[in-house]
Chain A
Amino acid sequence: MGARSVVTMTATAIEAIDLVKTFGDLTAVDHVSFTVPEGTVLGLLGPNGAGKTTAVRMMTTLSPPTSGTARVAGYDVRTHPDQVRASMGLTGQAATVDELLTGRENLRMIADLYGLPRPRVRRVADDLLERFSLADAATKVVKEYSGGMRRRLDLAASLIATPPVLFLDEPTTGLDPRSRQELWEVLRNLVEQGTTLLLTTQYLEEADHLADRIIVIDHGTVIADGTPLQLKDASGAARIVLTVSNADDLSAAESLLRGLIPEVRVDPANRQITGSAEGLDAITRIAAGVQNLGIEIDDLGLKRPSLDDVFLNLTGHRAEPQLAATEESA
């Protein structure tokens, strides 16, 4: 983000040092290490059960590491948990707001617990309610909030003490697109003002929008680490997807695409033909060709690699030749 240029000059805000967490036989987090420079955003990307939440809980003092440790703002979570808590804000994956209090009471309670001066308690609570579009619901009991409203209140709660380090575990899950955009805006502003952010997500798009660096974890291990661009490049080019209206036109459309783009594949069940998109002008040429041939189409578009693609590529379940090469360079 905006702070990218100063990365090399600033200190480390978060440091995971060989973190391990086991639950019985299961190793949920398996020797994970990384550092997050002050004022930058790290996206922790991984599928369900990858160990994202477990890692965040260890870094935020909620769960003791089986081995290894983490530092937040220079404090070790094992030896200085209280200082870590004073330096960070957390919005966990599960809601932590009090259902029987109103939105405003929730925020004021937390501000009081932080020991903010009393006039600031009121101001901070109302500011945050405003910022997260909850002002109208300020006096409503949280039990009556929608899922998205609770999520936003939870996020507001983690910002009360304007902590220098912020951990957000799947912050936009359950938010509608508008709320998601609003939250991204809030987070960008915070980062611009120097906050260090670690967020977990299952959406490549979100990591792409916010993160300076993405770490992909699976089965508790880090399987890739790079900028969003690097990760997307590594998972292959975007693909063009053409869906014809009548199955009869499939073969005509297939030969058209074969003449224009490489790696053409046909999926008769969905009346779809896909191919690698070497250049955006390929779309224009396909559109023109389809029109010339009088083929009726349902859809023509560009499909970018999803987290699924990135993930499958990285884990090798759907190995692509070029990635095998990149793995050697580790």
Chain B
Amino acid sequence: MSTVRVHTNTDAPPRSEDPPPGGRVGAQQRAPFIRQVITLTRRNLTHIKRQPEMLSDVTIQPVMFVLLFAYVFGGSIQTNGSGYREWIMAQTMAFSAFVVAFGLSNDLTKGVIDRFRSLPINRGSVLVARSTSSLIHSSLGVIVMSLTGLIVGWRVRGSFLEALAGYALLMLFGFAMIWLGILVGSVMRSVEGVNGVIFTTIFPLTFLANTFAPSENMPHWLRVIAEWNPISSLVQAMRDLWGNGAPPPVDAQWPLHHPIIATIAWAIIFTAILAPLAMRAYVNRTRD
């Protein structure tokens, strides 16, 4: 009855010796990074399979846009040149930021992230897998758009290589947007927060392009913004590569005259600014 020790908090002083070289247990087997990424990507894609409604942004939405533009608004919106298909594709890719942020935020607000964090895996694998599955998700939208376009009569008039280059630019842009998604997904404490931020900022910004109204009719300051908008560069680049677009107005800003270089430059700038911010936000979020 007198054997209960009551601690005084000082009976085990900190020690600072190094851990045993090989550890006390045999080093456990680890999965190679690529296997971690594949496993987690497959998991993310299974989520989509179980909730097919998550794909509405890349299936129903683009088709709706096509129908709206082609048949409802008809000629009442003057689209610059012939194609708004390129704009819809660009918008789908801009949306990969949302897809990443949504999925990441979902994981971060659930217990599953603790499971991942307690496993001996590379901490980047969760992000790489999230990015990969989101790019696959958004690419689906591009495929749906391309097929819908074929049905409606759109054609790529450029060479095969130019067609490929257009798709490559789309992917590059999507890649840059992923960092924005990781940033937003890590900073926002809820999925609703993610929705709020994306739909009040990214979504309207995608419309501020030279797609719908000729930028010549805009107030000068708005026109500058619209023509420097990365979406405009991307859309113009695809139109050029696919041989669908009217040339930009002679007095348009520099990016519209050099849309391919501008798009690549935007992707690099986005990545250079957003990647460090996104990584820091993610590390902070998953530290405790």
Contact = CB atoms under 8 A, between A and B. Distances in A.
A43 interface: no
A18 B14 CA distance: 6
A233 interface: yes
A233 B13 CA distance: 29
Interface in B93-136: 110-112, 114-121
Contact of B121 (A113, A223, A326): A113
B32 A18 contact: no
Interface residues of A, number: 73
Contacts of A32: 9
Interface in A81-116: 82-83, 85-88, 90, 92, 94-101, 105, 109-110, 112-116
Contacts of A163: 28
A94 B111 contact: yes
B76 interface: no
Contact of B19 (A13, A83, A157, A225): A83
B151 interface: no
Interface stretch (B45-53, B83-91, B192-200, B202-210): B45-53
Interface string A3-42: 0000000010100111000000000001111110010000
B115 A96 contact: yes
Contacts, number: 169
Contact of B51 (A13, A82, A100, A164): A100
Contacts of A327: 4, 6
B248 to A, nearest CB: 46
Interface residues of B, number: 49
Given A17-B15, A114-B120, A230 B31 contact: no
Given A16-B12, A35-B12, 11 more contacts: A68-B14, A73-B24, A82-B120, A100-B51, A109-B39, A113-B36, A223-B7, A224-B4, A224-B7, A314-B4, A329-B2
22 contacts: A17-B12, A17-B14, A18-B12, A62-B114, A62-B117, A75-B23, A80-B19, A96-B112, A97-B112, A101-B43, A112-B31, A114-B119, A116-B29, A141-B50, A161-B28, A221-B7, A225-B4, A322-B1, A325-B2, A327-B4, A327-B6, A329-B2
Interface of A: 11, 13, 16-18, 30-35, 38, 60-64, 68-69, 71, 73-76, 79-80, 82-83, 85-88, 90, 92, 94-101, 105, 109-110, 112-116, 141, 157, 161, 163-164, 221-226, 230-231, 233-234, 314, 322-323, 325-327, 329-330
